[in-house]
Structure 1
Amino acid sequence: MLGIIIYIYSAISFVFEPLKVIFSTLVAPLILAFIFYYLLNPIVDWMERHKIKRIWGVLILFIAIIGILAGLVALAFPPIQEQITSLVNNFPSYVDSMGITILSWVANTPLESAVSEFIEWLNGWVSNIPSVVVSYFDTAVSGLTSVFSTVSNVVVVIVTFPIIVFFLLKDDEKFFNYVLKIIPPKFRKDTKNIFATINEQVGSYIKGQLLISLSLGIMMFIGFTVIGLEYSGILAIVATFTSIVPYIGAALAMIPAVIVAFTISWFMVLKLIIVWVVVQFVDGNLIEPNIMGKNLNVHPLTIIIVLLVLGDLLGFVGLILGVPIYAISRVLVTFVFRKFKQRYNKYYGDEAGNYENTEFTPDKYQEKK
């Protein structure tokens, strides 16, 4: 039977080619567009509440973003480019210097052989960083149907996603109402609740995680500058982008910083560790609770497992989108389970006892299952 199915699919696979092309063309700009929609929509809503028409609010916001980006490129790009060039050129020698320092600490000890092998492996890995990065991004690309596989597709993404963002911001209610009209009337209330819950969960996560990443980057930059660490600007930028990945990203950002610190002195390493501990403490106890609140309410271990699994399946894309994918899946599973509980209570509740928490709304979603 399986053989017949495979044969039939191979015979008619050409039918699916147009769908594959459409999918690979639309997925990337749509993902980026929805991310930016969640980030920018609160600003547009705020302007609308202050008597600025939505279309004008969107235009003002786009002009402001373009102006800010142009200013940042003009002011920050030259020194950042200089730091990047210097760090890339010097990084292999920094790794060598760190290796020599560590080997001197463990000389004539049982650890010397193991540490020596690790340093050799690290040197080899650093020399292969370009090929490793290319390979990893190839994995990420193939995991999302080669969305970014060609220059033409990248250009399509860059050109189309701002247009999609513009119309999402301008006509979000019209778009949602149009989709809702397609749904049978009996299911519209449930559909609205599902969309509202997903919107709250995913929107809160995207906005919160990006704000947390930005705050981490700023705190790292201040800390690196205060202790006198070289390349504080580019290392803080690396920390900002890697921190988009919860928990794992902040630790990864410290690897190049530690290597640079080792080339200066062990005291610089100690100061760097103090900066990292202080930043993590402030983030975990002050920034994250106030930005994220309890909207997502996912255990850190669950997030790490999700990132490991989806990172393996989708590469870099899985690390970035792993938590939103999990949040959407969790909303849908919770909705189905609560519908099951309602059905169970209807037929068996009087006789065997009722399930609690059977209603599904954005407000009741966070109640214990």
Structure 2
Amino acid sequence: MGVLNWLLIVVVVPVVTFYLLLDWDAMVERIDDLLPREHAPTIRALMRESDDRLAAFIRGQALVCLILGTYYAVALVMVGLNFGLVVGAIAGFLTFIPYVGALVGGVLAIGLALYQFWGDWVWVIAVWAIFQSGQFVEGNFLTPKLVGERVGVHPVWLIFALAAFGALFGFLGVLVAVPVAAVIGVLVRFAIGKYKQSRLYQGTHGNPLP
């Protein structure tokens, strides 16, 4: 099952994404033409807000990648690891995919550390600690603050979304958790706004209480 998931991510998703981007404008026009005329402006507004949130997610995630890549590169160079700058850059770039950056970068760095510092376990442990601390800071501070706040999702709900989607759908769930949570947030805020405009919330004015 794990192999099938990776095959889906590595092969199918890029192909589907390519064809979606190729026909994106025509597809959007066809969907817009099918919208109920009365509700079309509202649906378009929700789609625009969702698009803004997804763009904010990409910008926030790119900033997280830059911060972690810089941290990994500088820290690995400071401990004297050969190719530390390259490994840090790779780990930072792959951070865009949850857990992959730390996993790939950590394996590369620890492998190089074992080769370079064999017998001097203090430096091997130091390299391991660099990636453990980076993963901790990313999961508990960087992603909730820099990504969650940009997409309008509270850090607590963001962590919950990552855990829930990961438990339900595995790696693919972790990959889409934040964008999906952002879109759900847009819909929930719209629903709350409508509720506060309703008679159910505002009550009937002018009628005396029994």
For normalisation by structure 2, the TM-score amounts to: 0.68
Q: 1:305 to 1:288 in 2, by over 3 A?
A: closer
2:54 corresponding residue in structure 1: 202
Taking the TM superposition and a 5 Å limit, the aligned residue runs for 1:1-369 are: 136-138=2-4, 140=5, 148=8, 154=11, 157-159=13-15, 161-168=17-24, 171=25, 175-230=27-82, 232=84, 233-234=86-87, 236-242=89-95, 244-245=97-98, 256=107, 257=109, 260=113, 263=118, 264-266=120-122, 269-270=125-126, 273=129, 294-344=149-199, 348=203, 350=205
Larger-Rg structure: 1
- Is the CA contact 1:220–1:276 (under 8 Å) kept in the aligned structure 2? no
What is the CA–CA distance in structure 2 between the aligned matches of 1:204 and 1:300, rounded to whole Å?
A: 15
**Partner secondary structure for residue 18 of structure 2:** helix
- Is the CA contact 1:310–1:318 (under 8 Å) kept in the aligned structure 2? yes
1:297 deviates by 3.3
Q: Report Cα offsets for 1:192-211 as digits up to 9, x if no partner.
A: 11101111112210232134
- Is the CA contact 1:224–1:272 (under 8 Å) kept in the aligned structure 2? no
Q: Report Cα offsets for 1:213-233 as digits up to 9, x if no partner.
A: 244224423431343224633
1:160 deviates by 5.0
- Is the CA contact 2:72–2:89 (under 8 Å) kept in the aligned structure 1? yes
Q: 1:252 to 1:301 in 2, by over 3 A?
A: farther
> Structure 1 counterpart of 2:163, which letter?
L
What is the CA–CA distance in structure 2 between the aligned matches of 1:162 and 1:332, rounded to whole Å?
A: 27
1:323 deviates by 0.9
- Is the CA contact 1:136–1:316 (under 8 Å) kept in the aligned structure 2? no
Q: Report Cα offsets for 1:28-69 as digits up to 9, x if no partner.
A: xxxxxxxxxxxxxxxxxxxxxxxxxxxxxxxxxxxxxxxxxx
1:253 deviates by 6.8
Structure 2 unaligned spans of 5+: none
User: Share of identical aligned residues, percent?
Assistant: 23
Structure 1 unaligned spans of 5+: 1-134, 142-146, 353-369
Q: Report Cα offsets for 1:257-282 as digits up to 9, x if no partner.
A: 5684785442564577579869959x
What is the CA–CA distance in structure 1 between the aligned matches of 2:102 and 2:199, rounded to whole Å?
A: 46
1:234 deviates by 4.1
What is the CA–CA distance in structure 1 between the aligned matches of 2:45 and 2:132, rounded to whole Å?
A: 41
1:330 deviates by 1.8
**Partner secondary structure for residue 185 of structure 1:** coil
- Is the CA contact 1:229–1:268 (under 8 Å) kept in the aligned structure 2? no
What is the CA–CA distance in structure 1 between the aligned matches of 2:2 and 2:126, rounded to whole Å?
A: 32
- Is the CA contact 2:166–2:172 (under 8 Å) kept in the aligned structure 1? yes
Q: 1:350 to 1:229 in 2, by over 3 A?
A: farther
> Structure 2 counterpart of 1:182, which letter?
L
What is the CA–CA distance in structure 2 between the aligned matches of 1:162 and 1:301, rounded to whole Å?
A: 34
Aligned residues: 198
Q: 1:224 to 1:345 in 2, by over 3 A?
A: same
For normalisation by structure 1, the TM-score amounts to: 0.42
